[in-house]
Chain A
Amino acid sequence: MEAGALEFSILAPLGFVAIGAVLALVGEIWLARGRAHVSPWLVVICSLALALALFTAATTFAAGITAVFDPAHPMLRVDPYASFVFVLLAAVTLLSIWLSMSYLPALRIDFGEYYGLVMLSLVGMFVAVAAIDTIAFWIGLELMSLPLHALAGFDRRRLRSNESGLKLMLIGTFGSAILLYGIALLYGATGATSFFGVREGFEPDDALALSGLALVLTGMGIKIGAVPFHQWVPDVLEGAPTSVSAFVAGAVPIAGVAALVRFVVLALPGLDADLRVVVGTLAGLTMMVGSLLSIVQTNIKRLLAWSSVAQVGFALIAVAAGTPEALAALLFALCAQAATLLGAYGLIAALARAGREHERIEDYAGAARRRPGVAALLTLFALSLAAVPGTAGFMARFQLLRAAIDAELVLLVLVGAVSSLVTLYAQLRLPAAMYMRESGEDVPGEVDTFAGLALAACAVGVLWLGLLPDYGTTSALDAARVAAEGLGR
C-alpha cells in the first residue's frame, strides 16, 4: 500500500455499519408512514449492512492488511487484530438483531429506533477497537456507550429498565469522565495523544503519567466491568430488555477488552512488574467476586451477568500475562464468551411472550420434560460458562490458564481454578432445576425462525469452538493467533 495515500477502503466495515445506522434511523421515519410494523424492514437493512461489514472485515483479515487512517494524523489502525474483532462484533450484532426481532413485539416495545441505536453503538465499538490515539479511543468508547444508555432504558414503562438505563448512564458517564481525565493527564505528562507518542514520552517515575495511567485503567475497568468497578453489570443486564442484555453481554466485553489490550500493548509495551501485579490482582478479584456472587442469584439474567463478570476476570489474566499466546487465547476466549452469553440471553429473550419473560430459575423447573430443546440449549450454555470440556468455555479457559502458567502466574491459575469450580456450582443450578425438578407451570413461547437461526448459530459456535477449534475453513485458533500477532508492538 502506498504510503501517504488515503485508504478509505480499509474503513469499509465501519462505513457500512454507519450507513446502516443512518438508514435505519431515517428509514424508520420514512417507513413508518402507513405501516404497522417496520421492524422487519429495518432488520433487513441492518442485516445487509452488517453482512457487508462482516464480509469486508473478513476479507481485510484474510488479506492480512495493516493500514493506518489517516497516515498524516494516525487515529485508527486497521490491522488483523482490528479486523478479527470487527468480524466478531459484527457477527454478535447481527445475531442479537435477529434475536430482537420477535422479542421487541413480544414486550410491546417494537420501536424502530432500537436498530439504529444498536448499529450506532457498534460503530463506536469499531472505532474504539481500531483506535491508536487516545482521543479516537475515547470517542469510540463514548459512541459505544451513549446508545447503550438509551437501549438499556428502552422499555420505558418498566421501572427496572429505567433503572438499568439510568445506572448505565450515571456510571458509564462517570467512567468516561475518569477515562478522559486520565487521557488528559497522560497528554500532560507525555505531550502526546497517540499511543506511540504516549509510549515514547512515558516516564515510569513521573507521578503525573502514573496518575494518568491509573485513571485510564480505572475508567476502562468501569467500561468492561472489572471488580471493583463492576457493580453496574448485574443491575444493567438484569434490568435491560433481554435482547439488549444479550447485545451488551456479548459485545461490550469484546470491544472494551480488545480496546484495552490495544492500549496496554501499544502505549505501555512490556507491562512492568508492578502493573502486572495490579492487572493480575484485578483479574483474580474479578474472577472470585464474579463467581462467588453468581452462587446466590435466582434470576437467570443476573446469574449470567455475574458469570460474565467472572469471564472478564479470566480475560484479564491474559492482559496480565501479556504474551502473544496469551492475547491469542484472549481473543479466542472473547469469541467463546460472546457465543455463550449471546445464546443464553437470546434464549430467554426468544421465549418472552405477551410482555412476560421467564427469567427466574424456578420458571424453568421441570422444563426438560416439556421443552427438551430449550433445556438442552440452556444446559449447553450453562456448561460452557462453567467451562465443562466439550464446550467453547472450556477450550478458552484451558488456553487462558495455559498462558498464565507460561507467564508463571501460578497464583492466578489457582484462583482461576477455584473460581471455575464456584462457577460450576452456580451454573449447575439451572440445568438441575430443568432436569431434576418438577413444576406445574409451563414455559410457553415458541422460538421463531430468525431467533432460532441465531440460537442455532450460537450453539454451533459453542460446540465448534469447544470440540473442533482447529477445524473448519479457517481454524479459530489460527485466526486468533494471526490477529494477536497483527496487533503489532
Chain B
Amino acid sequence: MDAGSLFVIVLLPVAAGILLACTGRRLSARVWQGVALAATTATFACSLLLWSRYDLVNGGLQLFEHRVWIGAAGLDLLVGIDGISLVLVLLTTFLVPIALLATWTEVRRGGRGYVLALLALESGLLGAFVSLNLFAFYVCLELVLVPTWFLIGSCGGPRRAIAALKLFLLGSLGSVSLLIALLVVYRLNFEQSGGLPTLDWVLAPGTAAAGRVALSDTVVPLAGADAWWRTQPFVFALLAFGFGIKASLFPLHGWLPDAQVEAPTAGAIVLSGALVKLGGYGLLRFGLPLVPDAAFAYAPALLGLAVVGILYGALLALAQSDLRRLIAYLSVAQLGAVLVGLFALNPQGLVGAVVSMVSHGLCVAALLALVGFLVQRRQTAALVELGGIARPMPVFASLFVAVGLACAGTPMLSGFVGELLILLGAFQSAPWLATAAAVGAVIVAAAMAWAVGRALLGPVDNPDNRALIDLDWRERAAVLALLVPVVWIGVYPDPVLRRVEPSVVRTLRRIEARVVTVADAAERVDGGDARRAQGVER
C-alpha cells in the first residue's frame, strides 16, 4: 500500500476510528486519544509525501486515483490535487493532531465519541478537498456535518444544542441547494455527453470513452438560452447560496460564531481552521468554473457582500466582551476577506484568498488553542474577568501577542501575505470596495490590539488571576508548532506561492476562456449539438 496515496490519506483517520469503535470499548479515553493522535500524525506524515511528490512544473491537477463507485451513473471516486487542494489538505492534516495535542487534558463531555467524531471529521474534510467528482465532494461536504454536529452538540458549551442544530440545518440548507445545482449540471452533462454522464471534474485516465464530457467542460446555457432552471443565473444562485453558507458569506454566516464558541476547543480548531474553507474551496474548484458568465456578472455583488462581512465581523469583534466570541467574529471578518479575494476574480486576489485560508486556519487555531488553555485554568474567557495576565503567564502572553499580530496582518507573518494580495486583487476590480475592505482590516487589527490590552496588559486586578500557571511544554509545543508555518509563510512565502499560484492562474484562465466559449455555444446550441462547442474550446 502506498502511503502517499490520496485514498490512504483520506481513509486513515476514519479507519483508526472504526478500529477504536470495534475493539477499544475497554480502553480508557486517554488511550483513545493516543491512538487518534498517532493516526492523525501518521496522516500528516503521509500528506507530507504529497508535498514532495507534487509536480511544480505541471501545476495543474495531478496525482489522480480512480475507483469506480456507481458505474452506470458515472459516479466515480476520482481524487487528485492541485496546488490549492495541496495546501488545504496539509492544513487539515496538520491541524487535527495539533488540536488533539492542545486539548489533551481538557475536561469535556462526550467521552470517547469525541475522538471518533474528530477522526471522522478529518476524513470527511480530506475527502472533500481531494474529490474531483462533484458527487463525492457533495457527499463529503454533507457528511462532515454529522461529526461536527456531534462535536458541538455532545461535547460543547452551555448553548450547544441550539448551536449544533443551527450548524446542521443551515449547513444542510446549503447542501440541498448544491444538490439541486448538482442535479441540473448532471442532467446537462448527460445530454451533452450523449447518455454517458459523469460528474468527474476531469476525465480520469482510462475513463475517457467516446462522447464523454468532463464536468469542467459541461456547458451551462446562458440566461434565456434554455429553460430557466438550467441556465447560468439559476445554477450560479444555487451554488453561491450553498457555498456561501459553507464559507459563511455575509449574511449567511449566522451559524459560524455560535458553532465556534460552543464547540469544544479541538472541534472549534478544526471547524474554523479547515471546515469553513470548504465553501471557498468549492467555489473556486467547482462553482465559478461551471458558470463562468454568471460568475463574472455577479461577482461584484458578492464582493460587496463579502466586504460587508469584513466590516460587520470586525465591528462586532470590537464589541465582544468574551474572548471566544471575539475570535469568532474575527473569523467572520477574515473569511469575508477570503471571499473578497475570491470574488475579485484576478490572480492576485485568488492567490491571496488561498494563502489567507491557510493563514486564517493556522492563526485562528492558535488563538483558539490559547483561549482554550486559559479557559481550562480560569473557566471563563470573559474579558471582565481577565486583565494583566501577562504577569503570571508570560509565555502565554507572548504567544498570544505573536498570534494576534499574525491575525492583524503584520508583515513577516502569514496574515500579511494573504491580506496584501487580496487587497491588491480587490483594488484592481473594485477600488472603493477594496478601500472598505482595507478599513475592515484595520478594525480587525484594532480589535485584536484591544483584546490583547484588556486581557494581557495592565495590573492584575482580579485575585483569581494572580496564581495562574503558565503554559506547560505540551501547550507551548502545540502553539509553537502552529507558529512555525505562520512565520515561514510570512518570511518566505515562495514555496507556498509556487504551488498555489500556477493552479490558481490555470483555474482563472479556464474560467475566462470559457466565458467566450459559452457565449459561442449559446449561438451554436440551437442545433442541440453542444459537443461541437466543446470541440471549439479544445
Which residues of A line the B interface, CB within 8 A?
368-369, 372, 383, 388-390, 394, 398, 401-402, 405-406, 408, 410, 413-414, 417-418, 420-421, 424-425, 428, 432, 435-437, 469-470, 477-478, 481
Contacts and interface: CB of A to CB of B under 8 A. Distances in A.
Interface string B223-242: 00001010000000000000
B153 A432 contact: yes
Contacts of B160: 436
Given A388-B146, A401-B183, A428-B168, A436 B70 contact: no
B139 A421 contact: no
B72 interface: yes
B155 to A, nearest CB: 9
B171 to A, nearest CB: 10
A389 B161 contact: no
Nearest to A419: B176
B80 to A, nearest CB: 21
B165 interface: yes
Contacts of B145: 388
Q: What does DSSP make chain B's interface, helix, strand, loop or mixed?
A: helix
A389 B142 contact: yes
B161 A432 contact: yes
Contacts of A369: 111
25 contacts: A368-B154, A369-B111, A383-B146, A389-B138, A389-B139, A394-B139, A402-B183, A405-B187, A413-B180, A417-B177, A417-B179, A420-B172, A421-B173, A421-B176, A424-B169, A425-B165, A428-B168, A432-B153, A435-B113, A436-B160, A436-B164, A477-B70, A477-B72, A477-B73, A478-B72
Given A410-B229, A420-B176, A470-B72, A435 B143 contact: no
A231 B61 CA distance: 55
Contact of A413 (B153, B164, B183): B183
B69 interface: yes
Given A408-B227, A436-B164, A417 B176 contact: yes
Nearest to B25: A372
A438 to B, nearest CB: 9
Contact of A401 (B70, B153, B179): B179
Q: What does DSSP make chain A's interface, helix, strand, loop or mixed?
A: helix
A23 B4 CA distance: 61
A390 B143 contact: yes
A331 to B, nearest CB: 15
Nearest to A402: B183
B186 interface: yes
B129 interface: no
Given A417-B180, A432-B161, 18 more contacts: A368-B113, A383-B146, A388-B142, A388-B143, A388-B145, A388-B146, A389-B143, A390-B139, A402-B186, A405-B183, A405-B184, A417-B176, A417-B177, A420-B176, A421-B169, A425-B169, A470-B68, A481-B72
B459 interface: no
Contacts of A424: 168-169, 172
Contacts of B176: 417-418, 420-421
Of B68, B149, B150, B172, chain A has the most CB atoms within 10 Å of the CB of B172
B535 interface: no
Interface string B209-250: 000000000000000000101000000000000000000000
Contacts of B180: 401, 413-414, 417
